[in-house]
Chains A and B, each alone.
Chain A
Amino acid sequence: MADEPKLQNETAAMEAPVIEPGHTFASVTDKISAIVLTRPTPRFWYVGFGVAFILVMLLFYAIAALLTIGVGLFGIMIPVAWGFDIVNFVWWIGIGHAGTLISAILLLMRQKWRQSINRFAEAMTLFAVACAGLFPLLHLGRPWYFYWLFPYPSTMGIQPQFRSPLVWDVFAVSTYFTVSLLFWYLGLIPDLATLRDRARKRFARFAYGMLAMGWRGSAVHWHRYEMAYLLLAGLATPLVVSVHTVVSFDFAVALVPGWHSTIFPPYFVAGAIYSGFAMVLTLAIPLRKVYGLEDFITLRHLKNMAEVLLATGLIVAYGYLMEGFMAWYSGNLYERAMMVNRMFGPYGYMFWALIAFNVLIPQALWVPRVRTNIPALFAIAICVNVGMWLERYVIVVVSLSRDFMPSAWGRYSATVWDYAVFVGSIGLFLALMFIFVRLLPMISIFEMRGLVQEEKQG
């Protein structure tokens, strides 16, 4: 960017602080709370929210059509009974992994750079999981019976099949959503109190006051608060790993070639972190620019995220390599046929696009100058987002389309309704994100004050 010419090299980014010097407790408080309370809403917000809102309307329209007519609107058929819905579900759940990872794992590792990105990464997680949750429900056929998935005293006298990964998935995703929500809200309480005390409008004072629940920053409260936060981080860390593991069981427990593989859990978790960090970068880069938050989200943050992207990208690449190797080494006819079909079959172009987006292009991050070049980082992050979607498409659709008997093979193609729901879910995600940055502090104010204090003590 034009305003950071001095920092355009690696050494400068290494030395770039996690918060620019000269900030005080008051200045970080005023700067972050002003975005919500006093500064005029930028035009970017109105345009962005407007577009997102139109897409949400598209989503509602598509859902209404789906509920009145049925899943026949989608491109799913036999053998490809899992189409866009499951691809989108896995894609969104994966994106939803970065927030908790940044909040919990980096907290336990005492990484100071997490503090200015954790809040909106957590919000992103929550909204991504909400979008993810839509898809299996819409895919049910009769979504209004979704509660049959839960064990409840049913008059039909039946129970869910607890030996099925699909039931595990219900518990994993709903637990993940609940814990992410708790984590996010807990982090927000002291900042809501700040907004309550800074707001000048009566309704804002009342609304933030109710949400802050009377938080007053008592030393004893803080003491318990820090303990609760640490415990939640400790609980969320294994949870985040378990969620995508359970999602991968949906595939790995089945017998379809291309799914039935023991490498799936670690490879899915790495892919989730990969896509999640890509999405954090995709959101952080425009947000820091529009709201002038370069002091808080510095080049150091972007560089660190680029490094996480590179590392997890290599794990994902190893996963692709091992899938190919195992197909060959197993000597299994069907596994080999799956791999040949994946690379050179009717959907081969998707596989090669996926390799280009997920494996080849991100290798540019080895070059230090690319890691601190903001437009390049943004472009790579978008590529990874696309690549991870393609990966799920290749796993779900391509594997199902040709399994064991050629007589049972088929070709899947998505319908306009599939695209409407998919694009609509992106709109829902963005709309929720826009509402979030308008109404709540997108950077944790109290943690930034703590960071100012730490920097002062050296």
Chain B
Amino acid sequence: MNNPPLYGMMAEFASPEALVAAAGRAHSEGYRRMDAYSPFPVEGLAEAIGFHKNRLPLIVLIGGILGCAGGFYLQYWASAIDYPLNIGGRPLNSWPSFIPVTFELTILLAALSAVLGLLALNGLPMPYHPVFNVERFELATRNRFFLCIEARDPKFDREATRRFMEGMNPQGVYDVEP
């Protein structure tokens, strides 16, 4: 073969419906290593390419629990252990007055873990990615919808995959340089 290795093969579509249909067809054809790109969230697209498990809610829950426990402990430790102030014999662990800060820190850590968890799971920041090598791909943030089947998919074959993609009536099919 005199062709250079590819990252994958990309097809361009004009509507979200066409992209969801194409992704579904590719999935039922047996392709697994692929991704779809759209300028706004399209309902059912992630499911169409076979993505089901979203671990983000669990990360946020853990963040929230840590914030809650850590926030309360911070105040308990500061007020009852590190710097106890005896004011008229009132209890040092005056938990009702610790609730507002505990609440705020719960929200803070849950929100931080939502954003950082999202970035980590999505692998961002990622300054370079092969899909940007396709010139038309800049329309993926405007009005065009792309499906990319990656070369590491076991079923990927340069000729067969191109033929399959062209059969789905796309606006164009492009090679993606790695």
Contact of A26 among B36, B37, B101, B142 (CB under 8 A): B142
Q: Which residue of A lies closest to B110 (CB)?
A: A235
Q: In the bound complex, what is the Cα–Cα distance between A236 and B101 (angstroms)?
A: 15
Does A43 sit within 8 A of B, measured CB to CB? no
Known: A214-B127, A236-B111, A239-B107. A219 touches B38 (CB 8 A): yes
Whether A232 pairs with B111 at a CB distance below 8 angstroms is yes
Q: B112 near A: Cβ within 8 Å? A: yes
- Judge if A221 is at the interface, Cβ distance under 8 Å: yes
- Determine the residue in chain A with the shortest Cβ distance to B115: A182
The distance in angstroms between the C-alpha atoms of A384 and B37, with both chains bound, is: 45
**Pick the contact of A216 from B57, B83, B114, B140 — CB < 8 Å?**
B140
Residues A159 and B40 in contact, CB atoms below 8 Å apart:
no
Select one of B101, B111, B114, B122 contacting A168, CB under 8 A.
B101
Chain B residues with CB below 8 A from A438, complex form: none
Q: Assess A219 versus B128: contact at CB under 8 Å? Given A172-B104, A227-B56.
A: no
In the bound complex, do residue B118 and residue A186 qualify as a contact, i.e. CB atoms below 8 Å apart? yes
**Contact B115–A228 (Cβ < 8 Å):** yes
**In this assembly, does A107 line the interface, its C-beta being within 8 Å of a C-beta of chain B?**
no
Nearest CB in chain A: distance from B100 CB, A: 4
How long is the Cα–Cα vector from A222 to B141 in the complex, in angstroms? 12
Identify which of A90-98, A134-142, A191-199, A364-372 touches chain B: A191-199
Q: Which of B100, B107, B112 contacts A246 (CB 8 A)?
A: B100
Q: With A159-B78, A190-B141, A453-B16 as given contacts, are A223 and B105 in contact (CB-CB < 8 Å)? A: no
CA A196 to CA B142, docked complex, whole Å: 11
- Verify A213–B126 contact, CB threshold 8 A: yes
Cα A172 to Cα B13 with chains together (Å): 47
Point out the residues of chain A lying under 8 angstroms from B4, CB to CB: none
Q: Are B46 and A179 in contact (CB under 8 A)?
A: no
Interface of chain B residues 13 through 61 with chain A (CB within 8 A): 16, 23, 35-42, 45-46, 48-49, 51, 54, 56-57, 60
Pair A216/B41 contact, Cβ less than 8 Å: no
User: In the complex the two chains form, is A178's CB within 8 Å of B111's CB?
Assistant: yes
Q: Given the complex of chains A and B, what is the CA–CA distance between A165 and B75 in angstroms?
A: 14
4 further contact pairs, Cβ within 8 A, besides A197-B142, A453-B16: A25-B40, A168-B104, A182-B111, A223-B41
Chain A to chain B: the 9 pairs with minimum beta-carbon distance, closest first: A213-B125, A25-B143, A223-B46, A214-B126, A159-B78, A197-B138, A159-B83, A219-B36, A228-B118
Residues of B within 8 A of A (CB): 16, 23, 35-42, 45-46, 48-49, 51, 54, 56-57, 60, 64, 74-75, 78-79, 82-83, 85, 94, 97-98, 100-101, 103-105, 107-108, 110-112, 114-115, 117-119, 121-122, 124-129, 131-132, 137-143
Interface residues of A (CB under 8 A from B): 24-26, 29-30, 151, 157-163, 165, 167-168, 171-172, 175, 178-179, 182-183, 185-186, 190, 193-194, 196-198, 209-210, 213-228, 231-232, 235-236, 238-239, 242, 246, 249, 446-447, 449-450, 453
